[in-house]
Structure 1
């Protein structure tokens, strides 16, 4: 086992040092100066002469730590060699891979990128954009099982009138084939009517992916019919409209920036956000003058 030379400063870190260097053999040491190297320097790869210890090279990762890797020098030809430090790179990779797993878990529970960044301030600071890139890279490498049996369907309702009578038009659209599955008029749109319409036109024994608007009745109705065969998704257009409608028609750049940060939850708006962040710094110079601010807003939003 590697020889670890302890001091009063690192005595309490023995278990951590063993975890780091425990895989190395008896010919390695961790000195009292914190240098990782071989006890007996290797021979020179150029002239085959035994080398001597020649200080160290520090390898640092901000906020994570530093390790000193021993150097060797040939007394014959003067060439130098640094001890292998791939284990340090492997440790960093392992740590950041663990962070990536953490990001995926939080995103699974609908935590925003900004929220994850705030949490990471307590562990190891990571910016929102860094987290997004790490998450996106991991998702690109994931192998997602594809099932041709899943039926992707859009369900919608319209409220036409027949004379003075209110009617309800229920529609099912096939997302892949882009064709109408069913389109019928009813006198009411009660839960029972919707259930009968769905049962009549969809096979409840097959997996189905259904997109709907925000009617509060849909989750219970769909779950009752399709049970564990169901994936229910709210329409992204309606999700985006909810956000947009929460902002005034004539917004400041600050409000527009907040709007796009919220819209970025459903679709990557990083480029728009960067652009608005630049405009926000310009807006600060004119925002106190109402007339100039209005002229400036009209100019930049043309």
Structure 2
């Protein structure tokens, strides 16, 4: 197993260090300076001369952490080599995948993208647009069974004025025929108004897929 050299400052971090480096063999070490490297440097890939330790390169992800990876240098031809740090990229990918699962769960419970972003401020800040892109990237990989019986409609809102009074026009279009299903004017666009508009103009006994924009103020239930 990898040799982990501890100090009083990082002694309590041993379980976490073992989780990260425990899969490496006895020829690797984690030094008291926090450098991950091989105990005995490898041979030069160019001239096969044994290399020597030659400092380190830090790999940092803002807000997440930093890993310090050892470097080696050939005493014969002068070429340099950095220890493989693909495990660091794998750890970041694992974390982001867990975030994506979290996003999907919150969306399943109708939490808005803005709301998810506010929650993530307590964990690892993610903007609304970043969450939206991650969610749609995940959805592109999902296999959705095709059904010819789904009624697909487009929902749209406009905000005309009647004199000095603000009005709200709610519109439903049939995606297949491109014909207008409903086009009504309301004094407000509260969730109750939208739900009543949908109930009145859509058949609740058949599956319906509603396409809308990503306006943060649009509430579809």
What is the TM-score normalised by the length of structure 2? 0.73
1:8 match: 8
Please give the per-residue CA displacement for 1:118-171, whole angstroms capped at 9, x wherever unaligned: 0000000011111111111111222212245x35388xxxxxxxxxxxxxxxxx
2:152, 2:208 within 8 Å by CA — same for their partners in 1?
A: no
2:103 match: 103
Return closer, same or farther for 1:45/1:151 CA change in 2, 3 Å cut-off: closer
Cα distance in 2, alignment partners of residues 58 and 152 from structure 1: 54
Select 1:213's aligned residue among 180, 187, 198.
198
Return closer, same or farther for 1:153/1:3 CA change in 2, 3 Å cut-off: closer
Cα distance in 2, alignment partners of residues 2 and 262 from structure 1: 53
Cα distance in 1, alignment partners of residues 37 and 80 from structure 2: 14
Cα distance in 1, alignment partners of residues 73 and 32 from structure 2: 21
Cα distance in 2, alignment partners of residues 145 and 7 from structure 1: 56
Return closer, same or farther for 1:151/1:122 CA change in 2, 3 Å cut-off: closer
Cα distance in 1, alignment partners of residues 53 and 152 from structure 2: 70
- Gapped runs of 5+ residues in structure 2? 154-173, 178-196
Cα distance in 2, alignment partners of residues 100 and 34 from structure 1: 30
Cα distance in 1, alignment partners of residues 50 and 87 from structure 2: 25
2:114, 2:216 within 8 Å by CA — same for their partners in 1?
A: no
The alpha carbon displacement at 1:108 in A equals 1.2
SS in 1 for 2:135: helix
Please give the per-residue CA displacement for 1:235-274, whole angstroms capped at 9, x wherever unaligned: 668xx9xxxxxxxxxxxxxxxxxx94313x67xxxxxxxx
* Residue 51, structure 1, aligned to residue 51, structure 2: yes
More strand by share: 2
Cα distance in 1, alignment partners of residues 61 and 129 from structure 2: 19
2:151, 2:208 within 8 Å by CA — same for their partners in 1?
A: no
2:59, 2:67 within 8 Å by CA — same for their partners in 1?
A: yes
Task: Kindly indicate whether structure 1 or structure 2 has the higher relative contact order, using CA contacts under 8 Å at least 6 residues apart.
Answer: 2
The alpha carbon displacement at 1:109 in A equals 1.0
Cα distance in 1, alignment partners of residues 12 and 207 from structure 2: 52
Cα distance in 2, alignment partners of residues 69 and 105 from structure 1: 36
1:23 match: 23
SS in 2 for 1:81: strand
More helix by share: 1
The alpha carbon displacement at 1:104 in A equals 1.0
1:262 match: 217
- Gapped runs of 5+ residues in structure 1? 155-173, 179-211, 223-229, 241-258, 267-302
Cα distance in 2, alignment partners of residues 99 and 6 from structure 1: 31
Work out the number of aligned pairs and report it: 184
What is the TM-score normalised by the length of structure 1? 0.55
